[in-house]
Each structure stands twice: as structure tokens, then as C-alpha cells.
Structure 1
Amino acid sequence: MPQCSIVIRAYNEEEHIGRLLSGIMQQTVQNVEIILIDSGSTDATVSIASRYPIKLLSIRPEEFSFGRSLNLGCQAAAGEFIVIVSAHVYPVHRDWLAHLLQPFQNPQIGLVYGKQRGNATTQYAEHQIFARWFPEESNPNQEFPFCNNANAAIRRPLWQQLPYDESLTGLEDLDWAKRAMALGYNVAYQAEAEIIHVHNETAQQTYNRYRREAIALKQIYPQEHFYLGDFVRLLTANISNDYYHAWRDRVLARNLWAITRFRLLQLWGTYRGFVQHGPVTSQLKQTFYYPRQRQSTADLTAESRINRPLVNYHLFEQRSHDSIE
């Protein structure tokens, strides 16, 4: 039986999936199985992934939700632990997986999530979000139910008790953490388990992401509200904070408009999600789950300030170049 099963959700990820799988194959933890759930990719995602030792599962686009896709992958998993990663992330260090699994030595830990950082094409405002949500210091016993399934791990027996909510339009990870904590399990944040999260979104995709997550948050926490006054207050506070940090970093001039636009899209999407009434239609699901392709990125840079073995992506880059030629 594998020590862990790695579940990856993918849709049109030909640019990123090979890099992630290459990084997984170089991990110090080798007793793993890899499960890819493809939700109707029309590009080379499946053919690229098939070059690696994966178990391929498919879900029809009209049946997709984040929770349903995860439940399908978890049901097929054989490992004691289930590692969940996005198809557009990649590990920085060869001991990423070892660090992500380490907190499970404590039987009270039900869920672990790791650090995320952006790459050179990441929006400045999103770099600030990553730094705030995923700090440099680990927390072995988090007091609030936050996590992120771009880089997380759970106990399979606990998932069998608590399958993911398939009705949510996002934040299925937060909802699962909330229910696991209600059963007495702890959530651990592991800063040493670092991945690079490539979020190369269009303006519409950013807006849609925060809108669907707000719809989900309203379902998870019905008592929560987000009024127009909250939009104005948080927009002012976040833009001011980003401007300050960009000024300190001496990059304000070139990021001024990008910061403003990102925060407008983020918080207006959040507001629109909270005021959404009625069911989520199939047309809206299509907008949320199957947007236009992300813009291209070729940056593979990931720096480390500590002396740990880095994943070597040069061979992957060379193979990708050769296949294009």
C-alpha cells in the first residue's frame, strides 16, 4: 500500500502538469500513487500526464464541481494519507512531500496545508495575499478552519467520514477543515512544505474566482455578510497596504495600476457573490469552472533562502523544448 495518494484536479493544464509531475517524481518520499482527475481537457494535458506513472480518472464537464472531483479521486486512493494539489503548482524542494506528511505523526492532526508563493508573473497584490495567508512560521495547531487545497493533505479514514461537499462553488477545503475541527481534529500549517502557485489569470477569471468563492462562503457561513460599505472599506485598506509595500520594495510605479485592478476585481467579485440570489445556474457554472485559457507563462524560477535540496526542473524544461521541436 502506498504511503500516500496524490490527487490532482486538472482542466487544460498542458503548460503546467508536466512540471508538477516531474517535481513529484523527484521527492524523497517515493512510495506514492498519483491520481489525476481530468474534467474534459481539450489540450495535451492527458497525453503529457500519461508519460508519468499516474492513474487517470475522468469527470464530465457538466458533472464537475471541486468537491465532486476530489471525492472521485479520494475514493480511488489507496494511501493512508491523501495529498491534494492543483495542477498549476510545483514543489520547490525535494522534501516538500516529507514535510507535508510529517505533522500526521500527531494522531490529532486531521489536515495539513503548506506554504504557497507566486512566481515572477504573479500579480503584486497576490504576492501580498500569499505572504499573509501562508507565513514563514509553521503552526502545528491552528485555531481557525483555514486551509487551501492547492497544497494540502488529509487522512483518508477521516475523508471517509467527511466527504467533500459537492454542492459548493469553491472553498470546499475551508468547509472540510471546519467540519474536521468540529469532530475534534486539528489543522496544521507547515511552512516547510512549499510550492509555487502559478496564477496567470485574466481579469474575468480573477473576478469569477472571488465571486464563486463568496457564493460558497455564504453557504458555509450563512450568518456572514458583505455589504457595499465593506467593499469600499476593504478596497481602500487593501490598496493602501499594497501601495505601501510596493513603495518600500521600490516597485510601486510599475505595479500601481495592476494593484488597483486586482483589488477591484477581487472585492467586487466578493460583493457580487454575496448578493447573488437564487441557485447557481448551469450557465454560471460554465463561467466559473470552464473559463477561457490562462495566459501563458514560461517562468520556472523558485529561490530558497535555506539549505535544502531543490527540485531540478532543467531536465523537464529540456524535454518540453525537444517535444516542441
Structure 2
Amino acid sequence: MSKVSIVIRCYNEEQHIGRLLSGLMQQTVQDIEIIVVDSGSTDSTVAIASCYPIKLVSIKPEDFSFGRSLNLGCQAATGEFIVIASAHVYPQYQDWIEKLIFPFDDPDIALTYGKQRGNSTTKYSEEQIFISWFPDHQTILDKTHPFCNNANAAIRRSLWKEIPYDESLTGLEDLHWAKRAINSGYRIAYVPEAEIIHVHDETPKRTYNRYRREAIALKNIYPQEHFYFWDFLRLFITNLISDYFHAWHDGVFWVNITSIPIFRFMQFWGTYQGFRQQGKINNQLKETFYYPRRLSRPDDQSQLDKNRPIIDYSTQSIISEKIPSSK
């Protein structure tokens, strides 16, 4: 039995999946199996993935949900632990998997998730979200706080058998799963050393749709909660101020002067519209999801550990670069 199974959900990810699979081939943990769950890609995603040692699971687009695709991937897995990764992420370090599964030495840990950062195409406001959601310090989360993210996470397969993912949610199936695990007496761990690059280059419309979809899911998980128009105004303005503050200090204010308000407007307008179909998140989760980054600056923003093995993608032969795009 493989120690670790990697489940990757994908749809038309020909630009990214080869980089992720290349990074997996360089991991210090070698006893892995890779399961790609494809939901009807029409580009070269499957052709690229098939050049690597993967197990392919296919799902019809009309049958897709985030929870269903994960359940199919987990069902095909044989590893003791299941690492879940989005197809448009790639690891920074060769010990990414090793760091991500390390907390499982504690039998009370049900789920771990790692740090995320953007790349050169990431919107400035999205990078601020990554910094707020995924800080540089480590913590075992409180039992009442199920925040996590399945773009870069790992779970126990034995526990998944007891708690499968909810296939009806429009998103946030990771938070819902963590909430159920916590209610069963388990904990979740954040591992900042398990860092990935998360490539999001969305149009404003897609940003709006993503946050609207997640808000619909969130109000289903917490039906007693609400997100009022006042919340939209307050959080849009405070995050706008925070982003402009940090952009000014980072020396990128003018280049992001228009992208920041567009992103934040779509984020919170999408959230407001999603919650109009009912629902309010508790204050702790609202702070995690929406509150702006603090108006303070770290003394040293360079957090890379020079002694850790960094994956050099510039010299790595990535198969996707050799397969013509179907576009």
C-alpha cells in the first residue's frame, strides 16, 4: 500500500498540470501514487497527465461537483494519507509532501493544509488574501475553527471512509469536512513549510462567480449566519484601504491602482449576492475569510529557508511544454 496518494482535480488545465506533476516527481517522499480526476477536459490536460505515472479517473461534466470528484479520487486511493492539490498549483520545495504529512504523527490530527502564495500573474489583492489566510507561523487550529483549503491539504484516508465529502455543496467542501472532523473530536494543523504556488489569473467575472459560489456553500454550512449590504460596504472599503497601504509600501501602488478595487468589488459583491440566498458566517470565520490584512509591516519579508531543497522549474523538462496545445 502506498503511503501517500495525491488526488488532483482538473478541468482544462493544460497550462499548469505538467508543472505540478513535474514537481511531484522531485519530492523527497517517493512512495506515492498520483490520481488525476478529470471532469471532461477538452484541451491537452489528459494527454499531458498521461505522460506521467498517474491513475486517471474520469467524471462527466454534468455529474461534477467538488465533493463528488474528491470522493471518486479518494475511492481510487490506496495510500494511508491523501494529499489534495488543485491542478493549477505547484510545490516550492522538494519536501512539500514530507512537511504536509508530518503532523499526522499525532493521531488526533485529521487534516493538514499548507501555505499558498501567488506568482507573477496573481492579482495583488489575491496575494494579500494568501498572506492573511496562510501566515508564516505554525498553529494547531482551535477545535471550533475549521478553516482549511483543499488547494493544498492532506487527510487520513481511514477518516475519509467515515466522513466522505458532501457532494451537494457548491464549494467549501473542505471546510465542511473539517467541521465534521472537529465535531468528531479531531484537530486540523496548518503547516506553513508545506508551501505551494497557487496560480489564479481570473477575469473579474470569474472572481465574482467564485466568491458567489463559495458564499452559497458557506450559508448552507452555517444557515444561521448572514452577510448584509453593510458588510459588503464595510469590508470592501477596509480591504481597499489595506491593499493600497501595502501596495504603496511594496512600491507597486500605481501598477495596481485599478486592479485592487476591481478585485475587491467582485469578491465582496459576489459574497453578498451568494448570501442573499440566505445565510451569516460566525465572527471567527468571517475574520479569517474577509477581514483585511493588518496595517503593519514585518521586519523581514523574506521567509525562504535557504537550507531546504527548492525545485528549479527553469531547468526541469516539463512534458506539457512538448505537447501541442489543442487550442
Q: Same fold (TM over 0.5)?
A: yes
Question: Equivalent residue for 2:127?
Answer: 127
| Superposition deviation, residue 139 in structure 1 | 1.0
Pair 1:214-2:215 in alignment? yes
Q: How does 1:1-325 map to 2 (within 5 A)?
A: 1-143=1-143, 144-276=145-277, 304-316=304-316, 319-324=319-324
- CA distance 1:134–1:318, shift in 2 (3 Å): closer
Structure 2 letter corresponding to 1:176: W
The farther-off stretch of 250-259 and 306-315 is 306-315
- Checking the alignment, whether the CA contact within 8 Å between 1:19 and 1:316 is kept in structure 2 is no
Query: 1:219 aligns to what SS in structure 2?
Result: helix
Q: TM-score, normalised by structure 2?
A: 0.89
| Superposition deviation, residue 276 in structure 1 | 2.7
d(CA) in 2 for partners of 1:129, 1:214: 16
d(CA) in 2 for partners of 1:306, 1:225: 45
- Checking the alignment, whether the CA contact within 8 Å between 1:142 and 1:188 is kept in structure 2 is no
CA displacement 1:189-237 (0-9 Å, x = unmatched): 0000000000011111100000000000000000110011110011111
- Checking the alignment, whether the CA contact within 8 Å between 2:88 and 2:198 is kept in structure 1 is yes
Specify every segment of 5 or more residues in structure 1 that has no aligned partner in the other structure, as ranges. Answer: 278-302
Query: 1:7 aligns to what SS in structure 2?
Result: strand
- Checking the alignment, whether the CA contact within 8 Å between 2:116 and 2:197 is kept in structure 1 is yes
| Superposition deviation, residue 305 in structure 1 | 4.6
Question: Equivalent residue for 1:292?
Answer: none
| Superposition deviation, residue 312 in structure 1 | 2.5
| Superposition deviation, residue 76 in structure 1 | 0.8
Query: 1:12 aligns to what SS in structure 2?
Result: coil
- Checking the alignment, whether the CA contact within 8 Å between 1:114 and 1:194 is kept in structure 2 is yes
**What is the aligned length?**
301
d(CA) in 2 for partners of 1:13, 1:273: 26
- Checking the alignment, whether the CA contact within 8 Å between 2:36 and 2:73 is kept in structure 1 is yes
The farther-off stretch of 141-150 and 197-206 is 141-150
CA displacement 1:99-153 (0-9 Å, x = unmatched): 0000000000000000000001100001100000000011134441000000000
d(CA) in 2 for partners of 1:141, 1:230: 26
Structure 2 letter corresponding to 1:208: N
Specify every segment of 5 or more residues in structure 2 that has no aligned partner in the other structure, as ranges. Answer: 279-302
| Superposition deviation, residue 251 in structure 1 | 1.2
d(CA) in 2 for partners of 1:173, 1:201: 21
- Checking the alignment, whether the CA contact within 8 Å between 1:5 and 1:78 is kept in structure 2 is yes
Alpha-carbon RMSD: 1.6
- Checking the alignment, whether the CA contact within 8 Å between 1:7 and 1:70 is kept in structure 2 is yes
| Superposition deviation, residue 306 in structure 1 | 3.1
Q: TM-score, normalised by structure 1?
A: 0.90
Query: 1:312 aligns to what SS in structure 2?
Result: coil
- Checking the alignment, whether the CA contact within 8 Å between 1:68 and 1:165 is kept in structure 2 is yes
